[in-house]
Amino acid sequence: MHVGLGAATSVDSIVVRWPSGGFSTHGPFAADSIHIVLEPGAEPWLTNGCTNADACNYEMAATVDDGTCFFPSAGLDCSGSPLPDFPTLATHSVARIWNEATLLSIRHDWARPTVHARNLWHTSALMYDAWAAWGADTIVGAQPWLLGNQQGNYTCPFDGSPDIEAENRQAARRLSISYGVYRLLQHRFVNAPRAERITTHIDSQMEALGYDTAWHETDYTNGTWMERAASLGNYLAENYIAYGLQDGSFEVIDYQNTYYNPMNWNLVMDEPGNPNMFFPNRWQPLQLAEFIDQSGNEGSNISPDFLSPEWGDVQPFAMTAADTAQFERLGSTYTVYHDPGPPAQINPNEETGLESDYKWGHTLVALWASHLDPSDSVVWDIGPGAFSWNGFLPSSVEEARDYYAVDGVPVALGVEPGHPFNPVTGEPYSAQPVLRGDFTRVLAEYWADGPDSETPPGHWFTLLNYVNDQPELQRKWRGLGEPLAPLDWDVIAYFSMGGAMHDAAIAAWSCKGWHDYVRPVSALRWMADRGQCTDPELPNYHGAGLPIIPGHIEQISPEDPIELRGPNNEHLYEMKIRCWKGPDYIGVPALQWAGVDWIRAREWWPYQRPTFVTPPFAGYVSGHSTFSRAAAEVLTALTGDAYFPGGLGAFPVEAHEFLVFEDGPSMDFELQWATYRDAADQSALSRIWGGIHPPIDDFPGRAMGEVLGMDAFLLAEQYAFPLLGTDCFEAGGYPCLCPGDFNSDGLRNLPDLLLLLVHFGEAVDVGGNGASPVLDLDGSGDVNTGDLLGMLTVWGQPC
């Protein structure tokens, strides 16, 4: 029931007459607030009904589930009407249908980026194997990945491609892909918090395709071609499940940690300061009043464990032992891929100011939080014509200090004047002036876990699907040759992206586990407890305290309002920060935003919900930065174009609708990107505005992603196109490449040279166990000096 108060700001009492005939009085209540009122003596905990919020017949008042919940079938809403743009065989490939089913499953599971990068990889690789197993009809010589091969310590026997008439090959692929992914999703998501929703979707998807879910046979050598195709799918699922149970992820115990333990006690978020932090360079668990993950699942543990600190033990795709370093701590061995070295540290007994890289990085997060208020009227032009990625990444904190500027527009956001024109239309990009406070808040929310909480690796699959749906896209491998069939394109694209996301998760989390680095909320509150480090003559001095930055970080003074200094001046000369005020200042999220003002530094809060605050794992290196840059490299290489189709990618944002935990944005606009790398950079920077990462977490992750993204793409390419780089014949799907443009961005420059140097000295192996033939410019069978000279011959020349 809605009660209007007119101009009044509160109501003293409300009298309710109940159906039983009784009366009760409730109040007082403030305006713009929501309350649940119960009849005296009622026992709401005995109310039966459907308690699953995803169900079509969800009852908000029900507290005891009576088993009546039902869910929409695949592609339909609760009324049975078709969902717009839902993929079917009439509009999309079967690979797209099952990729969307995987993404839906992820959205209804716990928000675990590592686990779901692995799920996306295994479903993508299974689809690729099911596709490759049925032999060639357009692409010559494609080789399966797990099927018939040994990966790590696991061998998957295969008796060879079943005999089949050419006209039935595509239908057989659809059967094998569908049964394989269906069985794998059944297994992987059986214990998901919203497993009913997942089961309903994938069961109805099989029914919509006309496939019998009761078929469990795995002997793919006998029966009709349809039975053999279905059995091959079941066989693939059986082997991917078995492979996953021994790949180092500890799936069998729900991915729990076996040797990692945190060094710090919990940071209690509802209490000021951080008295439980004894090791200020190390990760600290958070204790929340209530924990709800980014997929909306309520956790039973209000202090979540570190997610996947031992993920360096998981079997990767393209990374090898040559990419690792081994470290020992407390009797346990940590395997770290692409180790960037230790992050900035602080000595609690040393007197330092802003010259400390640790203090500079974490205070910058607090300073960027001053951008999160649309009422400050600061406007940025966020169109691609104003800012663009220029290829520069800091290699040290010294370079980063200018790159991540605080006042004005950060250099990290792009370089003026941006892209001079859209290369597809030939026209300049339109300006898009947007309030800075709207842009930064939307950026933090959009990139947090994806528009629908599919976690960062899943978010890049949604962007890949977005690219695939654009009418301007030509499905030409590396942008060359003849277009591929939709199923061929989707399968190989998912295979490439899945391998890159899986390797990005392993590399980033192997660093997180070993370096075990502190998050900003822990570091800032810990430094605030110590006071200020700028002037020994001022009160509350401590060498490990926060630096005074006028207008941003100061001491609480007698002139400050009572909310800061306290009723009895008990907070006088503590530190204060001008930043986003936090969730306590949001009464009704649909109507209010917190805004920016001075708050006690000991109560600093990242731009996150009070039930989440910060992901439950260490910061260094940023997973977002690693995932995003790896994905951008894959998208650039497979399309043969650095730009989105049509020269522009966009995501519309509706005023007062998009933000979740506070009102906003205040205006309609679009997130826009000219190139995939522009989008990746925005994703990386969003975590600073979100209060999640300091710069030291960001730029090493981006550098890592650039390398492993291309390595994953090149290896996937070796399986799908084993003769690429040694021969080209358009009729077999093999385009003639531009020599030296290894990443297919149309340029022969530093990123291509770095790729060649990474694999310098390696032998070429078309089976996927050595360097890509694409790098062997002189055809010698090795990546050597001849290839380096060939690279220098074409250096700087466009393709």
Q: Calculate the CA 718 to chain-centre distance.
A: 26
665 cis-preceded (ω within 30 degrees of 0) = yes
| Least confident window among 8-22, 181-195, 535-549, 769-783 | 8-22
Q: Tokens 């300049």 appear where?
A: 428
Cβ-based neighbours of 172, under 8 Å, separated by 6 or more = 134, 162, 164, 225, 226, 228, 229
d(CA 573, CA 591): 34
pLDDT for residue 658 is more than 80: yes
DSSP string, 27-52: --EESS-------TT--GGG-EE---
DSSP string, 230-276: HHHHHHHHHHHHHHHTTSSS-GGGTT--SS---SSPPEETTSSS-TT
| Least confident window among 39-43, 101-105, 633-637, 751-755 | 39-43
Distances (CA, A) of 112 to 6, 101, 502, 515: 46, 17, 13, 20
Question: Where is pLDDT greater, at 25 or 155?
Answer: 155
Residue 322 near residue 339 (C-beta atoms within 8 A): no
Pairing state of beta strands 669-673 and 649-653?
antiparallel
Residue 565 near residue 571 (C-beta atoms within 8 A): yes
How confident is the model over 159-174, as pLDDT tens digits?
987 788 889 999 999 9
d(CA 709, CA 635): 10
DSSP 3-state assignment of 325?
strand
Question: Where is pLDDT greater, at 187 or 482?
Answer: 187
Residue 40 near residue 22 (C-beta atoms within 8 A): yes
d(CA 645, CA 469): 10
d(CA 613, CA 204): 37
Partners of 197 in the β-ladder: none
Average of per-residue pLDDT values in the chain = 90
Q: Which two tokens stand for residue 240?
A: 């991917």
Q: Tokens 């209804």 appear where?
A: 108
Q: Calculate the CA 313 to chain-centre distance.
A: 21
d(CA 654, CA 773): 47
Residue 414's pLDDT is 61
pLDDT for residue 401 is more than 80: yes
Residue 772's pLDDT is 86
pLDDT for residue 38 is more than 80: no
Q: Which two tokens stand for residue 457?
A: 């690796």
Q: Tokens 């596709």 appear where?
A: 131
pLDDT for residue 715 is more than 80: yes
The residue ranges of every structural domain in the chain are: 43-72, 94-253, 267-301+309-520+616-701, 712-793
Rg (CA), the chain: 28
pLDDT for residue 691 is more than 90: yes
HSE at residue 593, side-chain half, CA atoms within 13 A, is 23
Residue 42's pLDDT is 60
Q: Widest CA span of the chain, in angstroms?
A: 93
Cβ-based neighbours of 790, under 8 Å, separated by 6 or more = 739, 740, 777, 778
Residue 50's pLDDT is 84
Residue 122 near residue 240 (C-beta atoms within 8 A): yes
pLDDT for residue 451 is more than 70: no
Q: Calculate the CA 691 to chain-centre distance.
A: 16
| Helix (H), strand (E) at residue 155 | strand 154-155
d(CA 674, CA 421): 10
| Least confident window among 137-146, 514-523, 714-723 | 137-146
Residue 507 near residue 457 (C-beta atoms within 8 A): no
pTM across the whole model: 0.91
Residue 495's pLDDT is 98
Q: How confident is the model at residue 45 (pLDDT cuts 50, 70, 90)?
A: very low
As separate numbers, helices (DSSP H) first and strands (DSSP E) second, the chain gives: 17, 19
Residue 87's pLDDT is 85
d(CA 434, CA 158): 57
| Least confident window among 409-418, 592-601, 755-764 | 409-418
d(CA 622, CA 694): 9
Question: Where is pLDDT greater, at 430 or 53?
Answer: 430
Give alpha helix (H) positions in 662-694. 676-689
How confident is the model over 380-397, as pLDDT tens digits?
999 999 877 667 788 899
How confident is the model over 343-360, as pLDDT tens digits?
999 999 999 988 999 999
How confident is the model over 568-596, as pLDDT tens digits?
999 999 999 999 999 999 988 889 999 99
420 cis-preceded (ω within 30 degrees of 0) = no
Rounded to 10 deg, the angle between the 695-720 and 676-689 helix axes is 150
Q: CATH number of the domain at 94-253, please?
A: 1.20.144
Residue 409's pLDDT is 62
Q: How many residues does the chain have?
A: 799
pLDDT for residue 98 is more than 90: yes
CATH topology of domain 267-301+309-520+616-701: Vanadium-containing Chloroperoxidase; domain 2 (1.10.606)
Residue 7's pLDDT is 67
How confident is the model over 276-296, as pLDDT tens digits?
999 999 999 999 988 777 667
Residue 732's pLDDT is 54
DSSP 3-state assignment of 564?
helix
Residue 522 near residue 511 (C-beta atoms within 8 A): no
- By the 10 Å C-beta count (0-12 exposed, 13-18 middle, 19+ buried), 718 is classed as buried
**757-789 burial, b if ≥16 CB within 10 A, otherwise e?**
ebbeebebebebebbbbbbbbeeeebbbeebbe
What average pLDDT does the segment 786-795 reach? 88
How confident is the model over 196-249, as pLDDT tens digits?
999 999 999 999 999 999 999 999 999 999 999 999 999 999 999 999 999 999
Task: Please provide residue 494's backbone torsions phi and psi, each rounded to the nearest 5 degrees.
Answer: -65, -40
Give alpha helix (H) positions in 397-454. 397-403, 436-449
How confident is the model over 210-225, as pLDDT tens digits?
999 999 999 999 999 9
DSSP 3-state assignment of 549?
strand
First to last CA, the chain: 66
Residue 767's pLDDT is 55
**What type of residue sits at position 422?**
N
Question: Where is pLDDT greater, at 776 or 769?
Answer: 776
How confident is the model over 726-747, as pLDDT tens digits?
666 555 556 778 888 988 888 8
What average pLDDT does the segment 111-137 reach? 94
Residue 297 near residue 110 (C-beta atoms within 8 A): yes
What average pLDDT does the segment 472-494 reach? 94
How confident is the model over 300-342, as pLDDT tens digits?
678 899 999 999 999 999 999 999 999 999 999 999 999 999 9
